[in-house]
Amino acid sequence: MRLVTRALSLAMVPALALGLVACGDDDSAAPGGGSAAAPSSAAPLAVTPADSETNVPVSAEIGLKDGGALTQVTLTDGAGATVEGELRADLSTWVPADPLSYDTTYTVHATAGDRASTSTFTTMSRPGNRMDAQIFMAEGKTYGQAMPIVVEFGQGGVKEADRAAVERRLFVRSDPPQEGVWHWDSDIQVEYRPERYWQPGTKLTIRLGLGGLPVGDGRYGKVDVDLTASIDTKRREIQVDNATKRMTAVEDGKTLQTYPVSLGKTSAPSFSGTMVIIERLEKTTFDSSTYGVPASSADGYRTDVQFAERLTWSGQFIHAAPWSDADQGRRNVSHGCVNVSDSGGKWIFEWTRVGDPVVIKGTEKTLPAGDGWTAWNMSWQDFKAGSAL
């Protein structure tokens, strides 16, 4: 059976806003610093925003008009208070730690080598057309080793021409450091992952900092969001093989449990591929009418289920299915889900976390890109090719 509703009960922070940079590469923010050089007779710096510029977005970064490397930046507001921020790792710009205030004049003191300048700019008024986004993580929570960082955009999403500007403002830091990159599944969803599954115990610091950033079509990012999360110290993986019709639970490389299963029948096959547990529902109701098949029809249903883990947006789950006990391990009879016994479903449900990988092989149909968190269902090279940068 499958349930198509896309609302999540877990692991989601509602209606956050857009984001800041990617970690592990030249777009990551790095601590600013360096002592200011002594004044010299060299030509003064030309910075951006330009001196006396008005209507500046509150997402503005301080940079050099000629694209050179900065040494140090100090930004103060109209009351003389210093604004916190830091230089990017490549020293190309200085990034405020939070969006600037609307309708405010700021003073910039910038140095680059032996050159220095002082300038001012004034930010724009608060725009009316702002774009929301949400991140499918919750503050302080712990996730499985395959948990991608998933951002979903509202109000039409982000068109291809605007993705680079948005991606540059999606910041991720991992401890221990692991190279990662963003991949655009569509206008409305972008996913971030490292080359391999996260290392056990990884700490993630995420800044979705597009507050005030122009995002296309006259819209601006709504707010910044700062979030921290962790990756579990144990490596869990569920492996499902259609040839044997068995599901295996592996932890830190060791098999803990194996259960017979029934997968999707020929007319509604389960997907093969590497998926990620999106949500866990101890009790829910599967209703075929949510995807256009009346519950009263020959192929319809409305059934209460237990111990369900969502794998796709289109409605494929692992779940307990006592009505198919006689078929499990023998034949496929489900509408695309992985059916397991009550006892097996309970054990799997209590063992898993959101973010654990589920690898299914040998079925008639492959997992479509973007149907769920599909970041791991492609090679690293193909994943990187989906970055706008």
Looking at the structure, do residues 330 and 266 belong to the same domain, yes or no? yes
Expressed as residue numbers, the domain containing 164 is 130-230
The reply to whether 141 falls in a domain is yes
Looking at the structure, do residues 224 and 243 belong to the same domain, yes or no? no
Query: Looking only at Cα atoms, what is the longest distance across the chain?
Result: 87
Looking at the structure, do residues 247 and 363 belong to the same domain, yes or no? yes
Looking at the structure, do residues 173 and 89 belong to the same domain, yes or no? no
Looking at the structure, do residues 261 and 335 belong to the same domain, yes or no? yes
Looking at the structure, do residues 80 and 155 belong to the same domain, yes or no? no
* 326 band by pLDDT with thresholds 50, 70 and 90: very high
The reply to whether 33 falls in a domain is no
**Least confident residue range of 12-16, 200-204, 293-297, 336-340:** 12-16
The reply to whether 107 falls in a domain is yes
Looking at the structure, do residues 165 and 284 belong to the same domain, yes or no? no
The reply to whether 8 falls in a domain is no
Looking at the structure, do residues 80 and 196 belong to the same domain, yes or no? no
Given a cut of 70, whether residue 32 has pLDDT beyond it is: no
Given a cut of 80, whether residue 384 has pLDDT beyond it is: yes
Nearest partner of 389 among 16, 24, 15, judged by Cα = 24
CATH number at residue 255: 2.40.440.10
What is the model's pLDDT at position 18? 34
Number of domain units in the chain: 3
From 230, 265, 282, give the residue that closes a domain.
230
Looking at the structure, do residues 281 and 252 belong to the same domain, yes or no? yes
CATH number at residue 70: 2.60.40.3780
Given a cut of 50, whether residue 170 has pLDDT beyond it is: yes
Enumerate residues 6+ apart whose C-beta is below 8 A from 196.
Answer: none
Looking at the structure, do residues 242 and 372 belong to the same domain, yes or no? yes
**Catalytic residue selected from 23, 183, 335, 337:** 337
Q: Are the CB atoms for 213 and 57 separated by under 8 Å?
A: yes
CATH number at residue 135: 2.60.40.3710
Cα 65 to the chain's mean position, in Å?
32
Given a cut of 60, whether residue 355 has pLDDT beyond it is: yes
**Catalytic residue selected from 23, 183, 319, 335:** 319
Structure tokens given for 69: 């490397």
Given a cut of 70, whether residue 222 has pLDDT beyond it is: yes
What is the model's pLDDT at position 358? 98
Tell me whether residue 183 is one of the annotated catalytic residues. Answer: no
What is the model's pLDDT at position 291? 60
From 188, 205, 230, give the residue that closes a domain.
230
Tell me whether residue 337 is one of the annotated catalytic residues. Answer: yes
Nearest partner of 101 among 56, 49, 52, judged by Cα = 56
DSSP designation for 344: H
Looking at the structure, do residues 103 and 75 belong to the same domain, yes or no? yes
The reply to whether 87 falls in a domain is yes
User: What's this model's pTM, rounded to 2 decimal places?
Assistant: 0.84
Q: Are the CB atoms for 324 and 14 separated by under 8 Å?
A: no
